[in-house]
Amino acid sequence: MELRPERIGRRLIHNGAIVDIYQDRMVLPDGTEENYDFIKHKGAAAVIPVMDDGRIIMVRQYRNAIDQYTLEIPAGGLNGADEPTKIAAHRELEEETGYYADLNDVEFLLTLYTTVAFCNEKIDIYLARNLRKTQQHLDDDEFIDVSLHTIDELTQMVRDGKIVDAKTIAGLMTYRAMLP
């Protein structure tokens, strides 16, 4: 039988727009009690947009948590707990990149939890093909640059530490593994 910690209490510390922060009181398998931090996230979706020539559309934006610009696949939070992640990925594709794909050209790739030690953020990553140029529809607080790269260039950027975002690395490496 597997012994696991038991939550005996949860206290909301901060209610935010993207995350809620809690302190959980836990009883450990040896009977001792500890406080655990827990960050509840609303969920997100991301997309790897692949052009007809094989290049991938990437977005560059400032990330306050690490105080630097990052190169990432397009992504965004769900508009409510019931929003299907495929719809969110489809929406973020056009909003952030200015490219559109029919919904049937968006296919599921993988699911990942970004930081399992203290956060439940779950991101479903999709692949989008047959893209058509439209225009970006950025939120008021978004300032995003778009660029095109080959999978070989992006893989090298991962190896060189130039791409540090976990969802981007996982998505790109999974996509690369699918290629002939």
Segment 17-62, tens digit of pLDDT: 889 999 999 999 999 999 999 999 999 999 999 999 999 999 999 9
Q: Are strands 68-72 and 56-63 parallel, antiparallel or unpaired?
A: antiparallel
CB 145 within 8 A of CB 49: no
Q: What is the DSSP letter of 135?
A: -
Q: What is the pLDDT of residue 18?
A: 87
pLDDT at 141: 79
Cβ atoms < 10 Å from Cβ of 175: 19
Phi, psi of 53 (to 5 degrees): -85, 5
The percentage of residues in the chain with a pLDDT greater than 90, rounded to a whole number, is 89
CA-CA-CA-CA dihedral for 144, 98, 123, 176, to nearest 10: -100
The DSSP code for 46 is E
Q: Report pLDDT for 3.
A: 86
pTM (two decimals)? 0.92
Question: pLDDT tier at 67 (50, 70, 90 boundaries)?
Answer: very high
Rg (CA), the chain: 19
